[in-house]
Amino acid sequence: MSRLDWCRGLVLPFLLLLCAGALAQERTVTGRVVQLETGEALPGATIKVKGTTMGAAADADGRFTVTLPNQPHSTLVVSFLGFKTRELSVSPGAEVTIALEEDVLKLSEVVVTGLASSVAKRNLANAVSTVSAQELVAAPSQTLDRALTAKFAGVNVSQNTGAPGGGINVDLRGTSTIEGVTQPLYVVDGVIINNAANQSGIDLVTAATGAGSANPQGQPTNRVADLNPNEIETIEVLKGSSAAAIYGAKASNGVVIITTKQGTPGKTRIDVSQQIGFNSLLKKIGSRRFTAETAEESYGAAGRQIFEQSGGQFIDYEEVMYGEEGFLTETSVSARGGSDRTQFYLSGLLRDEDGIIKNTGYQKFGGRLNLNHKISSRVKVDAFMNFVRSESDRGITGNDNTNTTFGFSLGFTPSFYDIRPRNGVYPDHRFNPSNPLHTRDLLINNEVVNRTLGSLRLHWNLLVRARQSLDFIVQSGVDFYSQENKVVSPPELQFERSASLPGTSLLGETESLNSNLYFNLAHSLAMGNNTTFNTSAGLQFENANLNNILNEAHGLIVTQTNVDQAASINAYQNRVISRERGFYAQEEINLNDRILLTAGVRGDASSSNGDTDKYYFYPKASASVRLSQYGVLSGLASELKLRAAYGETGNLPIPNAKFTSLLPTNIGGRAGLLPATRQGNPDIRPERTKELEAGFDAALLNEHLSLNFTYYRQNISELLLFPTLPPSSGFIDKVVNGGKMRTHGVEASLGVTPLRSRSLTWTANLNFYKTSSEITQLDVPAFNKGGFAPFLGTFRIQEGWSPTTIVGADVDAQGNPIPLGDETPDFQMSLNNRLNFKDFELSFLWDWKKGGDVINLGALITDFGGTTKNFDDIKIVQSDGSVATARILAFIRRTGTSAFIEDGSYLKLREASLSYNVPRNTVNRLFGGQLSYLKLGVSGRNLVMITDYTGYDPEVSQFGNVSIGRSVDTIPYPSSRSLYFNVAFGL
């Protein structure tokens, strides 16, 4: 070989390699993504090439490299959570710096639209509400569901009781069922979790109802309360069937999609937050001030004698019972970081909250670990693990038939009568079966929950091409919790001493296991004309197993609390096992970001249905048109979109609806079984909701103003009902599909940024919604539901009426019930303001409910006890000299139920916070560069309530999370206000 040939053989491959490298370099673009205001990097930002499936993610320094198609110019679409999406044209070989502006009005959010798909909010064809981490925890909250209050249009979040640990009802778009499941579906990091509310058994002490009652009154905590709000990145609420149809037979009450925080590439960042504060009684209802004459008038000669012996003293028993200033602490620590290949998020929480009643409180501690790991450029694994332990002591409040709860007992305790302990000895109550202070100090109502949530997701990119991709996503999750309820009513309590077997001990053990397995395929095809087709399909398998055992013991040995240390022991068990399977397919067509068309179908089969093998199908379809992309109102609106959507969802029957249960009995001295009082229905089917919604979204005045409006109409059929059966049947009632209902309403959200400058930004969000429902068909006779008795107020289920109509003993000339009120409010509105002035941040949230009636039986209780604050102004002297009130006479005569009904309107300052970000140079000077930031502040929750309602709070539900019959007040645990001082810093 000649030297020339040798040189050619060495140089030519090298030159070809250089040319190939040059060509490759020319077909890429590199750059960096930063914040516009600060210039700091945005690691993890998403960069996509418009009209293709090509893209990349920014590394720890915000840098990226993206391969471009073989064309002169391409458009990059750059997005990052909380910032406006930006598009820019680039040429191969370019190097760019892309600065993203904060998305104050959240116009560039990406919203989940399926089990394996998402879409930019600007294209979305449904009304979906979102809330960010910053908005969610502006003020500390006991529970996640409480933190959602007044954050969305069309979402009514209301408490059942003010007791520590929660007890919250979440209602999306009004009434959607009569007897079915009422709460939305909660999905955490892609996995459906359990949100049951398991009873403690306290009803067996109060005799409010019996064990296993279909209408328990123990007001338990929803298990979504176990989640830590500080760990959440975003929450999306799919309010209607058109958005939630992809979840099928469990989604008629809407879907709450929760995404927890993830790790980011770069230096590990540690955030620490410490909250310290106290809570106090929000409102007093007051108590009657007596004279010697009125003491005798209400309590006879003994009352006058006690009054005179006390010197006419006034004891503020509300202060004695509810006047504790509970100490609050919350410590939250998190760390996030990692490499470009592996990221992690680690967090821990310790919360301790004393109640406003002595010996009550709530504690929660837990931890979370989220891991994201890229096995290769095509395979990614995400792991989520969460453990929570919570403990609550809730006292004994609400309804009872023994006058033992705090509210009932205080209602019969005149302010001049001293029942406080003397030298550690509690006097017996002369006018009531129990001394509430003795009960408060000795009775135990404790709940402990240990919960583990874990899931694993594999994302495998099976196919990668310039204009198409195919992803396989498999996810499995487990949700397990154990709940122990312990109620001990010692034999030395006054009301226990009068029992045949003094002393009660209850021990409830609940174990719940939910498991999920999902298989999904997602295909994306990008056409040359900027049209994309996103196709997804999948299979879901879900299992639920709940086992609840309650042991009841009476006749406790003194000083003993165990259930086996008693004279009489009973046991109750409830097992619920369900198996569900489903499939779905969905197609989304995006026509150049101008028109979005979506169609899909879900099929579900469940063991809860009469026919367990039958699949029920739930279709959906939607369309949106961005008129702003066609130049419509281009001088005024930067974004204007019309949208319409249709969808169907279901509501499964209770798991044992198709069975007739058997109850143990004694037959001729031998153990036997008899049918229960509710007859099973082997043909039971799920409820079905068909919804049509339409609306528009607009961004005006250079995105200083956003407006969203939605009208929706739901037609609910196959209503689940429990009609009364004739005595000859041998049963009391039966589960049937027996009616139809229509619900419609409007939702409007207005976002405004009146001021936006480098030193001052003011953002305001106004939410308004109004809803109403009507029973359009009833296949069974009209009936009453909820409440305690018709003359005390109940709710009427009758064709042509609102299902939340309140009726009572008042009837017309034909004997038909007369509507006395409606639980559904006229409208609800909230206003959330956030101001940033230099280093200061101020936010506050007002919540206004107009209308919505409440059956206030608490006032009847205090009337009977003679302690109502204005008793002397409303009393009626009878012909025999005795005194009563209109409410008492209505009760005695079984007429005039309207005396118990009050307007439940209110205006509340739900949240307020003020914080100061210590300047960076000051932080560096004080701490030598050890801290990345320091934030000081004060915040509060439930600070102000303005209402004419005479009870403690018009937000109340004696029967917990029910669709019909919520607004019944029998003096629950009163609401409290909370005030916190906080400090947060980063390492």
- pLDDT tens digits for 256-311? 999 999 998 888 999 999 999 999 999 999 999 999 999 999 999 999 999 999 99
Q: What does the pLDDT read at residue 145?
A: 84
Q: What does the pLDDT read at residue 919?
A: 93
For residue 243, count other CB atoms closer than 10 A to its CB: 29
User: Crossing angle of helices 886-893/858-865, nearest 10°?
Assistant: 100
Separation of alpha carbons 542 and 774, rounded Å? 34
Distances (CA, A) of 368 to 28, 190, 235, 857: 39, 16, 17, 44
For residue 286, count other CB atoms closer than 10 A to its CB: 15
Q: Which residues face 846 on adjacent strands?
A: 831, 909
**Cα dihedral 734, 738, 739, 743 sign:** positive
Per-residue model confidence as pLDDT tens digits over 725-755? 888 888 888 899 999 999 999 999 999 998 8
Q: What does the pLDDT read at residue 609?
A: 94
Per-residue model confidence as pLDDT tens digits over 85-115? 888 888 888 889 988 887 766 666 777 766 6
Separation of alpha carbons 246 and 112, rounded Å? 11
The residues, ordered by sequence, that sit 6+ positions from 156 with a Cβ below 8 Å of its Cβ are 169, 170, 171, 172, 828
Would the pLDDT of 936 be above 80? yes
Q: What does the pLDDT read at residue 17?
A: 38
Confidence of residue 910 (pLDDT cuts 50, 70, 90): very high
Q: Is 756 exposed, middle or buried (0-12, 13-18, 19+ CB in 10 A)?
A: middle
Report the largest interatomic distance among the alpha carbons of the chain, rounded to a whole angstrom: 135
Per-residue model confidence as pLDDT tens digits over 332-363? 999 999 998 999 999 999 999 999 999 999 99
Q: What does the pLDDT read at residue 108?
A: 67
Separation of alpha carbons 300 and 89, rounded Å? 90
Unique residue bearing structure tokens 């007739």: 660
The residues, ordered by sequence, that sit 6+ positions from 208 with a Cβ below 8 Å of its Cβ are 217, 218, 398, 399, 400, 401
Separation of alpha carbons 358 and 769, rounded Å? 39
Average pLDDT (158-180) is 89
One-letter amino acid for residue 962 of the chain: V
Distances (CA, A) of 596 to 126, 589, 883, 890: 11, 6, 70, 60
Separation of alpha carbons 75 and 50, rounded Å? 5
Q: What does the pLDDT read at residue 772?
A: 96
Q: Is 946 exposed, middle or buried (0-12, 13-18, 19+ CB in 10 A)?
A: exposed
The average confidence (pLDDT) of the chain is 89
- Listing DSSP states for 476-536 in one string gives EEEEEEEEEEEEEE-TTSHHHHTSSS--EEEEEEEEEEEEEEEEEEEEEEE-TTSEEEEEE
Per-residue model confidence as pLDDT tens digits over 24-40? 344 888 999 998 878 88
Report helix, strand or coil for 147.
Answer: helix
Would the pLDDT of 208 be above 90? no
- Listing DSSP states for 596-627 in one string gives EEEEEEEEEEETTSSSTTPPEEEEEEEEEEEG
For residue 620, count other CB atoms closer than 10 A to its CB: 28
Nearest 5°: the CA angle 576, 578, 582 is: 160
Does residue 24 or residue 526 have the better pLDDT? 526
Q: From 348, 323, 326, 328, select the one nearest 336 (Cα to Cα).
A: 348
One-letter amino acid for residue 842 of the chain: L
Q: What does the pLDDT read at residue 212?
A: 57
Unique residue bearing structure tokens 């003096």: 971
Q: What does the pLDDT read at residue 524?
A: 93
Percent of the chain whose predicted confidence (pLDDT) is above 90: 61
One-letter amino acid for residue 297 of the chain: E
Task: Enter the DSSP assignment of 425.
Answer: B
Does residue 49 or residue 831 have the better pLDDT? 831
Would the pLDDT of 14 be above 60? no
Report helix, strand or coil for 629.
Answer: helix
Element (H, E) at 392: strand 379-393
Report helix, strand or coil for 555.
Answer: strand
Q: From 80, 177, 120, select the one nearest 737 (Cα to Cα).
A: 177
Residues in the chain: 987
One-letter amino acid for residue 816 of the chain: N
Would the pLDDT of 144 be above 90? no
- Listing DSSP states for 450-481 in one string gives EEEEEEEEEEEEEEE-SSEEEEEEEEEEEEEE
Q: Which residues face 186 on adjacent strands?
A: 256
CA atoms within 13 A on the CB side of 569: 11
Separation of alpha carbons 441 and 448, rounded Å? 20
Separation of alpha carbons 76 and 85, rounded Å? 10
Average pLDDT (402-423) is 94
Q: pTM, whole model, 2 decimals?
A: 0.90
Dihedral-angle region of residue 242 (phi above 0 means left; psi in -120 to 50 means alpha; beta otherwise): alpha
Would the pLDDT of 6 be above 90? no
Average pLDDT (165-170) is 85
Average pLDDT (760-771) is 94
Looking at 57-71, 175-189, 329-343, which range is the least confident one?
57-71
